[in-house]
Every structure is written in structure tokens, then in C-alpha cells.
């Protein structure tokens, strides 16, 4: 190497620090650890695919017949199955991310003492947070892809925009994983987990997942429009049906900002909890 090139490179110390701050590689170690653990419980992992499948079947066989057509995106009537499937995808992304980032992380934090062990290695708390969320996203991607295959098989997808469904589902997962993780760092005992259920259950039921927003009176509509799951449901539903507008961009930005803020807070909180 010529001396000119050498001079252009940042000093070795700073390079190392940059690498560490990038953190991608170290965070991947945590993802690898979880993948290895789940090899012993792969059926638990795989069974997560069945839950939305059961929901879809139940809607297809039962509720769809009872409800008929509902006003979908842009006011066009769509069959109930096509209306509800994207909502279920959003819900399963949220639930998967929330459970992974609350129950599992709490267990690792308080009982398995996993993070105490990890911090004896060169990994930093921020990298732990990033690795945990990376794992939640990987898991979410697999579930979302499986769900999309089922939707395709059932003939519920009509628009080419639906290829964006999987990344959007992962974005929903990212936002809720970061939120859930932040919440977990404030929890003191298993009893606090009732609040997780208390937050996720109304989101699941009332975020225009099972019926259009128009069912509510106007003040309730405004409240529902502010919730993150509603944004995710609208994103996925519009993409799947193929009614796409610029509003989808700020809906996605809302979820991304929520996730990034959550990630930042969770990293700081973990550092404080683990006394770094």
C-alpha cells in the first residue's frame, strides 16, 4: 500500500471505535445465541406460524359469511376476508414482537442473567438492545412471510404493492419490539405484565382490525387514529388491496420514529439497570 492511502485511512484507534459503535457484528452474536437456543425448541418457534393461520381459517369459514362485504380502503367494498387478513398480519407482528420483547427479555434480564453474562464480553448495552430487536425482527420476518404465503394461497392478495407487506410487517414489529423492550426495563415483577396485556388487548381489538373505523363515533375515531397499530393496519390493508397514497409514507415514518426512539431509550435504560 502506498503511503498516500495509509494517510487517508483513519487512525487505527478510531477505526476500532467506529467498528464497535457500528455494533452490527457484535449484535449478531446475540441473534446467533437465540437461534442456537431455539434449535432445542424449534417446534415452539414454528408453531407461531399456525396462530394467524387458524384466525384466517376461522374468518374465511365463519365470520366472512356472516359479515359479507365491508367498505375497504378508498371506500370500495371488499369481501370481509380480504378486509381482515391484513389486519391480522399487523396484529400478529405486534403480538410476536411484544411477547418476545417483554416476557422473554424480562426472563433473560432477571432470571437467566443473560445480559450480565454478555456484558462481561466486549458487547455494550446498546448492542444488546440492538441484538434483541434484531432477533425479534428476524422472527417477525419469518412469520410475516409465512402469513403472506397463506394469504396468497387463499387468494386474498390482488395488488403488486403487496410485496411491501413483509417489510411493513417487520416495521410494525420493530416499533412494538422497541416499545415493549423499553417498557420491560421499567418492570419490577411478573405482576407488571398485566399492563402489557392491558395495552396489547385493546390495540388488537379496537384498531380497526375487525371492522372499519367508520363504526366508531368521531371522537373515538380520532383516538384510534393516534395508535401505532392502527397505522400499521392501514398500511398493510392499503398495500394489500392496492389503494396506495402518499399518506402511507408518514404512517410508516410514525412507526419508524417510534421504533428508533424506543431503541434509544431501551439502550440507555438497560445500561442503567446493568450498572454500566
Partner 1 sequence: MAVLSRGDDSPQTPPAHEGAARPPVPPRPRRHGGAPRASGLSFRAFQCWLTVYRRIWRSSIWSSVLGPLFYLGALGIGLGTLVDKRGTAGLGGVSYLAFVAPAILASGAMNTAMGEASYPVFGSVKWNKIYIAAQASPLRPGDISRGHLMFMTMRIAMNAALVTAYMWALGATTSPWVVLAWPAATLTGLAFAAPIAAWAVTVRTENNFAYMFRFGMMPLMLFSGTFFPLSQLPAWLRVLAYATPLWQGVSLCRMLSLGHLDVPVALVNVAYLSVLAAAGIWAGARTYRRRLYV
Which residues are at the interface with partner 1 (CB under 8 A)? 41, 43-44, 47-48, 50-51, 54-55, 57-58, 61-63, 65-68, 70, 80, 189-195, 197-198, 201-202, 205-206, 210-211, 215-216
Question: Cβ(125)–Cβ(267) under 8 Å?
Answer: yes
Least distance between partner 1 and beta carbon 65 (Å): 5
| Closest to partner 1 by CB, 5 or 189 | 189
According to DSSP, residue 189 is labeled S
CA gap 198, 135 in Å, rounded: 25
Least distance between partner 1 and beta carbon 62 (Å): 3
| Closest to partner 1 by CB, 28 or 67 | 67
Least distance between partner 1 and beta carbon 127 (Å): 29
CA gap 124, 27 in Å, rounded: 9
Cell of 88: 391480522
Least Cα distance to 106 among 188, 196, 201 occurs for: 188
CA gap 228, 255 in Å, rounded: 7
CA gap 165, 152 in Å, rounded: 12
Least distance between partner 1 and beta carbon 54 (Å): 5
Least distance between partner 1 and beta carbon 154 (Å): 16
| Closest to partner 1 by CB, 80 or 174 | 80
Least distance between partner 1 and beta carbon 214 (Å): 10
Q: For residues 220, 221, 222 and 223, what is the CA-based torsion angle, rounded to 10 degrees?
A: 50
| Closest to partner 1 by CB, 217 or 246 | 217
| Closest to partner 1 by CB, 151 or 196 | 196
CA gap 140, 231 in Å, rounded: 18
Measured between alpha carbons, how far is residue 121 from residues 83, 109, 116 in Å? 48, 16, 9
Strand ranges in 3-89 using DSSP code E only, listed in sequence order? 69-71, 77-79
| Closest to partner 1 by CB, 211 or 264 | 211
Amino acid at each position: 500500500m502506498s503511503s498516500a492511502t495509509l494517510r487517508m485511512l483513519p487512525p487505527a484507534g478510531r477505526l476500532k471505535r467506529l467498528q464497535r459503535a457500528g455494533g452490527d457484528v457484535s449484535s449478531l452474536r446475540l441473534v446467533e445465541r437465540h437461534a442456537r437456543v431455539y434449535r432445542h425448541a424449534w417446534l415452539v418457534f414454528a408453531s407461531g406460524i399456525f396462530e394467524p393461520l387458524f384466525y384466517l381459517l376461522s374468518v374465511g369459514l365463519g365470520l366472512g359469511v356472516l359479515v359479507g362485504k365491508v367498505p375497504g380502503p378508498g371506500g370500495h367494498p371488499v369481501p370481509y376476508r380480504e378486509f381482515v387478513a391484513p389486519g391480522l398480519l399487523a396484529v400478529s407482528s405486534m403480538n410476536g414482537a411484544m411477547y418476545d420483547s417483554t416476557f422473554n427479555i424480562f426472563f433473560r434480564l432477571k432470571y437467566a442473567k443473560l445480559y450480565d453474562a454478555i456484558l462481561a464480553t466486549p458487547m455494550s448495552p446498546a448492542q444488546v438492545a440492538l441484538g434483541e430487536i434484531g432477533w425479534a425482527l428476524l422472527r417477525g420476518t419469518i412469520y410475516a412471510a409465512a402469513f403472506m404465503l397463506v394469504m396468497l394461497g387463499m387468494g386474498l392478495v390482488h395488488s403488486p404493492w403487496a410485496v411491501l407487506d413483509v417489510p411493513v410487517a417487520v416495521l410494525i414489529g420493530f416499533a412494538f419490539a422497541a416499545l415493549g423492550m423499553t417498557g420491560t426495563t421499567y418492570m419490577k415483577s411478573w405482576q407488571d405484565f398485566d399492563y402489557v396485556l392491558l395495552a396489547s388487548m385493546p390495540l388488537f381489538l379496537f384498531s380497526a382490525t375487525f371492522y372499519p373505523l367508520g363504526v366508531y363515533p368521531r371522537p373515538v375515531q380520532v383516538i384510534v387514529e393516534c395508535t401505532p397499530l392502527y397505522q400499521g393496519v392501514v398500511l398493510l390493508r392499503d398495500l394489500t388491496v392496492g389503494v396506495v397514497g402518499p399518506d402511507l409514507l408518514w404512517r410508516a415514518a410514525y412507526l419508524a420514529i417510534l421504533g428508533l426512539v424506543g431503541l434509544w431509550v431501551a439502550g440507555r435504560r438497560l445500561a442503567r439497570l446493568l450498572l454500566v
